[in-house]
């Protein structure tokens, strides 16, 4: 028996005081924690079942709605699916019935009690079951494919629509409720499919179990007394004990496991280092790659003979008392043993056949009970799956959007966006500290503003607030004199050209990457696209690509090939070559080239949209000095009629031209003014500037 002890009282903040303490135990390098089972278990089983069905009633409407939708998507296939499932569920019971009839004929044939006709029916029935079962299984595979593809075609567009509809804040919440979507595993995620799978299991296991019980009872009740009673007792004892025994499976008895073993954790890390290509280059460069085997050996020795296999407590019967396992096995085998023991005293064909029937029936029912416990999901979970799907589809933004158009048509044209921060504080979700603290800044239309400060001082957060990617926790932001929250956010963002800190390319063509967000409203010509690329300094790189502006860029993660990059199982070199022949050409792209392409995108936007604000958030850190200067000069040239905010760690020529420099530290604005004024102050800004430009 493994060590088992109660959770220490210091963990009471994790476990509410009214709950019984968790059970924790050690198994090898792992610690396993699970809920304390409170005896007697059969009463809690019944209570859990009743509760489950009452809760299910609340969500039943969602399940009904989803089932109706699936039916409307593929009515004929669904009916066939249900029929095939029902047939497969009862086929074991039918075989049992046929077997019983054949035995009955053998036992009573000579007495004339069993007719030849019933024997013929039994034989035909058995034969029919044997050929119809595989046909049903094949049909189920075919029906699954059809239903799944229709589910995908029906629900995925709705989920995509819901996902892009909600704001950044709510997206996080919705992703947790989007069933299986949200992580972009397009080929394998089928909304509604697991709901149908669970229903299939519930239907199949329930019908299978009860049909087998019914057939067994029918066969037993036809026996003469007292054999009937003995057989009956033997038959029900095993299912009864299995049902009463506390479940050892994860469906009802969940557990968590973690490891605190330091050598084991280090061993895992070293193993990852040895096999992950992402670390290899750095390890080689640092001459650390050859240390891995010796370090691995060292921790392996420290670990010694500790068991490292992941814990499977139900397999070793850890979640329930030992006597339940004993009882389960005893009721399965003992009746047969007893029956066999009495055979020498009353040997007859009837007894032998009864043993055979009993053996078949008990095994089948035992297996069905096992499947019932292992595979079937509680009805409540099935209903909840349907609810999640509809919740995800109807997911709404938490931040209410404003209704005023931007720019305000009544105000006529302006020199750019006016921005005013009034005592703004920002605290991100689940953070203890404010990212911005009481920030008050006024930016006039057409100004060139530089935001400087150390890492983490809140520069990017300031920009996120202007784009309304999040809302301030306190204070107010005004755009052109009105609260930002009163404007339609899409309108405000359409008036901004944003060069982000991290250049992100999309799994689309080079052309689409440059024109992102403009089409279909604007249909840029090739000449306009080339012009933007030239301003971003990426024409030479694009001209080297095989398909130029039409070259597809490789996605940041693999969305195309699915499982194992398009392979399954062990494949030959010839197959690998065949796959490579059909794969798209991959494009390698450096950090600086990415930034140039994203700069071209920003220029494209400035050239072809009504831009009031240009924001550059450190978007040129990977560029060489000459390219950075050229790109900045282009931005500067396009500046008239627009406000421009530039976040930077590099103090270039623009510092002297800036109308205002905002110097930030630890979420607060510590200095504000022009370069000369701030240098005279000899404060935080002068310190940063002198550290980089010592000759100044
Ligand atoms: N999404 C987020 N969730 C939680 N905390 C965040 C988030 N984004 C930023 N922060 C925290 O807010 C603070 C300010 O971050 P911000 O990115 O605005 O700083 P920054 O001045 O732009 O930094 P850097 O110069 O390194 O880009 C940091 O402490 C950061 O860890």
Per-residue pLDDT band for 318 (boundaries 50, 70, 90) equals low
Cα 355 from Cα 343, distance rounded (Å): 10
Q: Which helix (H) or strand (E) holds 499?
A: strand 496-499
- DSSP assignment of 233-285, as one string? HHHHHHHHHHHHSPP-STTTS-EEEEE--HHHHHHHHHHHHHH-HHHHHHHHH
Calculate how far, in angstroms, residue 457's C-alpha sits from the geometric centre of ligand 1. Answer: 7
Ligand 1: residue whose CA is nearest its atom 16: 458
Query: What residues does 673 pair with on adjacent strands?
Result: 661
Name the nearest CA neighbour of 477 among 442, 525, 450, 523.
442
Calculate how far, in angstroms, residue 682's C-alpha sits from the geometric centre of ligand 1. Answer: 26
Is 80 exceeded by the pLDDT of residue 580? no
Residue 530's pLDDT is 94
For the segment 480-533, what is each residue's pLDDT rounded down to a tens digit?
A: 999 999 999 889 998 999 998 888 888 788 998 999 887 766 788 899 999 999
Calculate how far, in angstroms, residue 496's C-alpha sits from the geometric centre of ligand 1. Answer: 21
Calculate how far, in angstroms, residue 455's C-alpha sits from the geometric centre of ligand 1. Answer: 8
Mutation choice for ligand 1 from 169, 424, 461, 649, CB with most ligand atoms inside 8 A: 461
Q: What is the DSSP letter of 404?
A: B
Q: What is the mean pLDDT of the chain?
A: 80
What's the average model confidence in pLDDT over 442-448? 94
Pocket of ligand 1 (CB under 6 A): 428, 431, 435, 453, 455-461, 501
**Averaging pLDDT over each range in 108-112, 292-296, 310-314, 400-404, which range is the top one?**
292-296
Is 70 exceeded by the pLDDT of residue 543? yes
Residue 691's pLDDT is 84
Cα 489 from Cα 475, distance rounded (Å): 18
Calculate how far, in angstroms, residue 461's C-alpha sits from the geometric centre of ligand 1. Answer: 6
Mutation choice for ligand 1 from 456, 622, 668, 669, CB with most ligand atoms inside 8 A: 456
Asked casually if ipTM beats, i.e. exceeds, 0.90, the reply is yes
Per-residue pLDDT band for 354 (boundaries 50, 70, 90) equals low
Residue 212 structure tokens: 């087998």
Query: What residues does 30 pair with on adjacent strands?
Result: 27, 259
> Residue with structure tokens 């005896």?
39
Calculate how far, in angstroms, residue 278's C-alpha sits from the geometric centre of ligand 1. Answer: 26
Mutation choice for ligand 1 from 424, 454, 460, CB with most ligand atoms inside 8 A: 460
Calculate how far, in angstroms, residue 163's C-alpha sits from the geometric centre of ligand 1. Answer: 25
Query: For the chain, what are the domain ranges?
Result: 57-394
Calculate how far, in angstroms, residue 242's C-alpha sits from the geometric centre of ligand 1. Answer: 56
Ligand 1: residue whose CA is nearest its atom 28: 456
What letters, b where the CB count within 10 A reaches 16 and e where it falls short, cover 565-587? Answer: eeeeeeeeeeeeeeeeeeeeeeb
Cα 616 from Cα 634, distance rounded (Å): 13
What's the average model confidence in pLDDT over 269-291? 83
Ligand 1, atom nearest to 461 Cα? 18
Ligand 1: residue whose CA is nearest its atom 25: 455
Mutation choice for ligand 1 from 421, 435, 472, CB with most ligand atoms inside 8 A: 435
What's the average model confidence in pLDDT over 291-317? 81
From the options 1.10.3470, 1.10.287, 1.20.1560, 1.10.3720, give the CATH code of 57-394. 1.20.1560
Ligand 1, atom nearest to 664 Cα? 21
Residue 8's pLDDT is 35
**Averaging pLDDT over each range in 31-40, 71-80, 287-296, which range is the top one?**
71-80
Q: Rounded to a whole number, what is the distance in angstroms from the first to the last CA of the chain? A: 75
Residue 412's pLDDT is 66
Residue 492's pLDDT is 92
Is 80 exceeded by the pLDDT of residue 92? yes
Between 560 and 403, whose confidence is greater?
403
Between 478 and 212, whose confidence is greater?
478
Cα 58 from Cα 36, distance rounded (Å): 28
Residue 653's pLDDT is 73
Separation in Å, CA 138 to CA 124, 134, 377? 22, 6, 24
- Provide the whole-model pTM: 0.69
């Amino acid at each position: 028996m493994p060590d088992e002890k109660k959770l220490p009282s210091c963990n009471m903040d994790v476990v509410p005081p009214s709950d019984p303490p968790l059970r924790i135990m050690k198994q090898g390098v792992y610690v396993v924690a699970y809920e304390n089972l409170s005896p007697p278990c059969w009463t809690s089983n019944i209570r859990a079942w009743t509760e489950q069905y009452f809760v299910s009633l609340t969500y039943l409407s969602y399940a009904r709605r989803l089932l109706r939708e699936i039916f409307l998507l593929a009515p004929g296939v669904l009916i066939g699916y249900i029929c095939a499932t029902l047939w497969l569920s009862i086929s074991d019971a039918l075989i049992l019935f046929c077997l019983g009839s054949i035995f009955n004929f053998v036992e009573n044939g000579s007495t004339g009690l069993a007719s030849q006709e019933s024997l013929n029916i039994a034989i035909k029935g058995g034969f029919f079951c044997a050929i119809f079962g595989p046909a049903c299984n094949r049909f189920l595979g075919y029906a699954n494919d059809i239903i799944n593809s229709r589910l995908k075609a029906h629900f995925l567009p709705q989920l995509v629509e819901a996902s892009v509809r909600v704001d950044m804040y709510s997206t996080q919440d919705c992703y947790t409720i989007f069933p299986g979507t949200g992580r972009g595993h397009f080929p394998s995620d089928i909304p509604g499919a697991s709901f149908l799978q669970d229903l299939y299991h519930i239907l199949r296991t329930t019908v299978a179990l009860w049909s087998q019980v019914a057939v067994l009872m029918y066969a037993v009740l036809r026996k003469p007394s007292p054999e009937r009673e003995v057989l009956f007792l033997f038959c029900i004892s095993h299912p009864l004990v299995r049902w009463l025994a506390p479940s050892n499976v994860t469906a009802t008895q969940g557990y968590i496991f973690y490891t605190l073993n330091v050598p084991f954790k280090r061993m895992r890390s070293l193993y990852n280092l040895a096999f992950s290509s992402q670390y290899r280059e750095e390890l080689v460069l640092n001459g650390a790659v050859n240390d891995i085997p010796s370090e691995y050996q060292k921790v392996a020795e420290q670990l010694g003979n500790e068991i490292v296999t992941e814990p499977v407590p139900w397999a070793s019967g850890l979640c329930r008392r030992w006597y339940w396992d004993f009882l389960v096995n005893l009721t399965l085998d003992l009746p047969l043993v007893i029956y066999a023991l009495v055979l020498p005293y009353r040997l007859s064909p009837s007894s032998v056949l009864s043993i055979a029937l009993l053996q078949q029936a008990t095994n089948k029912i035992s297996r069905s009970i096992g499947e019932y416990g292992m595979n079937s999901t509680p009805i409540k979970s099935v209903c909840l799956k349907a609810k999640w799907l509809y919740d995800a589809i109807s997911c709404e933004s938490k931040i209410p959007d404003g209704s005023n158009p931007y720019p305000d048509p009544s105000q006529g044209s302006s020199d750019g966006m006016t921005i005013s921060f009034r005592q703004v504080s920002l605290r991100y979700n689940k953070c203890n500290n404010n990212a911005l603290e009481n920030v008050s800044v006024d930016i006039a239309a057409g100004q060139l503003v530089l935001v400087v400060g150390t890492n983490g001082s809140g520069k990017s957060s300031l920009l996120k607030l202007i784009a309304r990617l999040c809302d301030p926790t306190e204070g107010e932001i005004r755009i052109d004199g009105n609260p930002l929250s009163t404007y339609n956010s899409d309108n405000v963002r359409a008036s901004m050209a944003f060069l982000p800190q991290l250049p992100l390319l999309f799994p689309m063509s080079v052309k689409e990457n440059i024109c992102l967000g403009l089409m279909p409203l604007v249909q840029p010509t090739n000449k306009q696209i080339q012009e933007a690329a030239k301003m971003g300094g990426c024409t030479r790189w694009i001209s080297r690509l095989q398909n130029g502006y039409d070259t597809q860029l490789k996605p940041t993660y693999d969305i195309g090939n699915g499982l194992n990059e398009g392979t399954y199982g062990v494949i030959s070199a010839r197959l690998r070559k065949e796959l490579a022949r059909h794969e798209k050409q991959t494009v390698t792209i450096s950090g600086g080239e990415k930034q140039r392409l994203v700069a071209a995108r920003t220029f494209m936007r400035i050239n072809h949209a009504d831009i009031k604000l240009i924001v550059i958030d450190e978007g040129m850190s990977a560029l060489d000095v000459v390219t950075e200067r050229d790109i900045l000069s282009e931005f500067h040239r396009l500046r008239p009629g627009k406000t421009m905010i530039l976040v930077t760690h590099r103090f270039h020529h623009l510092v002297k031209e800036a109308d205002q420099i905002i110097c930030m530290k630890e979420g607060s604005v510590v200095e504000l003014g022009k370069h000369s004024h701030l240098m005279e102050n000899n404060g935080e800004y002068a310190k940063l500037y002198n550290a980089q430009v010592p000759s100044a």
